[in-house]
Amino acid sequence: MRFIITKDYEEMSRTAADIIAAQVRENPACTLGLATGSTPEGLYADLVADYEAGTLDFSQVQSFNLDEYRGLPGDHDQSYRYFMNKHLFDHVNIDKARTHVPDGSNPDADAACAAYEQAIVDAGGVDLQLLGLGHNGHIGFNEPADVFPKATNCVDLTESTITANSRLFDSIDDVPRQAYTMGIGTIMRARKVLVVANGEGKAQIVRDAFFGDVTPRVPASILQFHPDVTVIVDAEAGSLCPQA
Ligand code: F6R
């Protein structure tokens, strides 16, 4: 595991964007795994800036997002499809037909999840998977549990995740209670993993996830066993780590 502490959010974002840009330059037809949330907004803005500067070409890139709320269609302003269009896809030359997000509008959870897992396999797997980190250690929407979910699955969101995400909805009652998410197995099959986390509020979970025991009670801790993972945090999120 490479663990990088940057001085602030801007440097965290730029460092992460450089790793994604390098992946695309090395293999222009690569498959990226992408995340939503507040943390990657800055790095997506940096990738858009690279594209606008003419130094990055997404025309052959294919992408798979980690997760989507069950019950939200892609044009809902809190859906993850909408987020990706707004922060990245609408601003670069990626072919939207090659961008994939689980189909939250499909009420048949088993069918939606199986189709998504198969689409990733058919694409040859993910080359570089970007992840944010939940306050409870979730990655994707894989919440603390007794086991590590193997494949794309339908999850019940925990109260802590519903509360954390309610800031983006008109009321907490509007937050969907379920989501479709890549499983921990899906994530671990990515050839490379890149994790970003920032802010004081993530300091304890960053320490637990990357320097604590490996346990499904802290889903991100399994990444300690991944052969090619880079974790980039700002100084606040890294403040409780042994090397800080
Ligand atoms: C989003 C996702 C989540 C977030 C996590 C952190 O697609 O999979 O696991 O990465 O909840 O969210 P932020 O970045 O908003 O703190």
Residue 165 confidence (pLDDT): 86
Res. 90 pLDDT band, cuts 50 70 90: very high
Instruction: Give me the percent of the chain exceeding a pLDDT of 70.
Output: 100
Task: Classify residue 215 by its DSSP letter.
Answer: B
Ligand 1 atom closest to the CA of 138, numbered from 1: 9
In this predicted model, what pLDDT tens digit does every residue of 102-152 receive, in sequence order?
999 999 999 999 999 999 999 999 999 999 999 999 999 999 999 999 999
Contacts of 186 (CB under 8 A, 6+ apart): 117, 120, 150, 151, 152
In sequence order, what DSSP letters do the residues of 17-42 get, joined into one string?
Answer: HHHHHHHHHH-TT-EEEE--SSTTHH
Q: Is residue 164 scored above 90 in pLDDT?
A: no
Q: How far apart are CA 128 and CA 1, in angstroms?
A: 15
Average pLDDT, the chain: 96
Structure tokens at 239: 């403040």
Ligand 1 atom closest to the CA of 199, numbered from 1: 16
Amino acid 55 reads: T
Task: Examine the residue annotation and report whether 135 is marked as an active-site residue of this protein.
Answer: no
Number of Cα atoms under 13 Å in the Cβ half of residue 235: 4
Ligand 1 centroid vs 37 CA: distance in angstroms?
Answer: 4
Residue 58 confidence (pLDDT): 98
Contacts of 123 (CB under 8 A, 6+ apart): 31, 62, 64
In this predicted model, what pLDDT tens digit does every residue of 13-68 receive, in sequence order?
999 999 999 999 999 999 999 999 999 999 999 999 999 999 999 999 999 999 99
Q: Is residue 244 scored above 70 in pLDDT?
A: no
Res. 77 pLDDT band, cuts 50 70 90: very high
Q: Is residue 240 scored above 70 in pLDDT?
A: yes
Instruction: Give me the percent of the chain exceeding a pLDDT of 90.
Output: 95
Residue 161 confidence (pLDDT): 84
Does residue 37 line the site of ligand 1, with CB under 6 A?
Answer: yes
Does residue 157 line the site of ligand 1, with CB under 6 A?
Answer: no
Residue 160 confidence (pLDDT): 84
* CA-based nearest residue to 120, from 74, 186, 34: 186
Classify 51 as helix, strand or coil.
helix
Q: How far apart are CA 134 and CA 143, in angstroms?
A: 9
Ligand 1 centroid vs 201 CA: distance in angstroms?
Answer: 13
Q: How far apart are CA 67 and CA 180, in angstroms?
A: 6
Task: Examine the residue annotation and report whether 136 is marked as an active-site residue of this protein.
Answer: yes
* CA-based nearest residue to 36, from 99, 95, 79: 79
Q: Give the residue-averaged pLDDT of 217-239.
A: 98
Pair 136, 157: CB distance under 8 Å = no
Residue 158 confidence (pLDDT): 87
Structure tokens at 23: 């992946």
Q: How far apart are CA 179 and CA 155, in angstroms?
A: 5
Does residue 81 line the site of ligand 1, with CB under 6 A?
Answer: no
Structure tokens at 203: 């300091």
